[in-house]
Amino acid sequence: MNKMYKNDSRIVCAAILMDDGSVITGVRHASPLMRLTMEKIYGKNYHKKVEKQGFVDQYENFISREESWSIAKKQKQIIRPTGFESVLENQPEDLEDRGMLFSENLY
């Protein structure tokens, strides 16, 4: 993974970082296809090998949910609240920096 964030980084999709350093991507965290992929690679107890959930950018960087929130907010990618952040008005720039990005914030 290229750990160099750039000013134009954008969040591309959900990702799960495994304890061996591998990154599994999908449209949403633990989507059926993502779970199937992890099970095929790691077996039925794949959930025990999950290090953390996050996202990847267009440069294939794994980014934590917290860092992803800042990037998505800066790039105006956040289109809806999930209830885990505060919304002053219905505009992405009004979302507070509370920390964690969820797929549902993006689409």
Dump pLDDT digits (tens) for 34-74. Answer: 999 999 999 999 999 999 999 999 999 999 999 999 999 99
Is residue 69 within a helix (H) or strand (E), and if so which, with residue range? helix 65-74
Please report whether residue 1 resides in a domain: no
Let me know: does 59 contact 2? Beta carbons within 8 Å. Answer: yes
**Residue ranges making up the domain that contains 68:** 11-106
Q: Band the pLDDT of 78: cuts 50, 70, 90.
A: very high
Q: What's the number of domains the chain is made of?
A: 1
Mean pLDDT of 64-91: 78
Single pTM value for the model: 0.81
Please report whether residue 51 resides in a domain: yes
Please report whether residue 5 resides in a domain: no
Please report whether residue 6 resides in a domain: no
Please report whether residue 56 resides in a domain: yes
Q: How many C-alpha atoms does 57 have within 13 Å on its Cβ side?
A: 23
H-type alpha helices, 43-81: 65-74
Query: Quick check: 5 pLDDT over 70?
Result: no
Please report whether residue 3 resides in a domain: no
